[in-house]
Amino acid sequence: MKTLMVFDFDHTVVDDNSDTWVIKCLPGQTLPDSVKNSYRKGYWTEFMGSVMNYIGDQKVSPETVRSVMVTIPFTAGMTDLLTFILDNKSTIDCIVISDSNTVFIDWILHASGLQAAVDQVFTNPAKFNEVGYMEVQCYHSHDCAHCPVNLCKRRVLEGYLSEQFDRGVEYERVLYAGDGGNDLCPTSCLRGRDVVMPRRGFILEKLLAKLEDDASLSAKVIAWSSGTDILQELKASMQE
């Protein structure tokens, strides 16, 4: 029986938001109000399309975007955690479920040399078109009223667990590490022996605290401040 480690990406694996970090590639490192004000709640991917269109309009090359993106810092202790996962692939599967995009996450993981620690990344598809503009699409459509229109992380996690079960892979324990409001929904499909790990001081921790006596949450809650905290819990859970 394996352990499954599930990560959010922004403010979890990396210590910032990759979608806002990209703005550093602009000459003035800022967006005009016309782009900033185009955001509609729940439609972040659509907004990122506008951001990347603006970056393309400023003639910022894909190579320049990449050179900026790979400077985003990993959260403290996270490279040690990913290295441990990489060294224990026979007993740990690892996935990322993120509202970022395939291009950013692929660049950042490859730059770290730790991309092999992650078995699959579930995020919004992105690519550079023939004129050098990055296009971002929604990951999927869904009918969950609690999640952004482009991504329900619970649906992704349930789908992954079901596919793995069909392949004969069952997990002794699932550890889910995240920080944001969109990390709350997938916690409802975790079991009593699973662990949800909210980042200390971030919104997920506050939302989980409100669910303390709620039957929709079965998993144990353990807050984390660094990748070292998650690593300690991962090691402990493997020894139980």
Q: All domains of the chain, ordered by start, with CATH? A: 2-15+74-123+141-239 (3.40.50.1000)
pLDDT at 215: 67
pLDDT at 165: 96
Spatial distance between the Cα atoms of 198 and 175, rounded to a whole number of angstroms: 11
What one-character-per-residue DSSP string does 219-238 give?
SEE--BSSHHHHHHHHHHHH
pLDDT at 144: 87
Quick one: tokens of 108?
Answer: 């950042």
Alpha helical stretches, state H, the chain: 18-21, 33-36, 44-57, 62-69, 78-87, 102-112, 153-166, 203-210, 227-239
Q: Is 10 a catalytic residue?
A: yes
Q: Is 166 a catalytic residue?
A: no
pLDDT at 8: 97
Give the active site residue among 8, 99, 194, 229.
8
Quick one: tokens of 234?
Answer: 């991962």
Along the chain (240 residues), what's the average pLDDT of each consecutive run of 10 residues? 96 96 94 93 89 96 96 98 97 96 97 97 95 91 84 96 96 97 94 96 94 78 97 92
CA dihedral 202, 207, 209, 214 (to 10 degrees): -160
pLDDT at 214: 67
Neighbours of 1 (CB within 10 A): 8
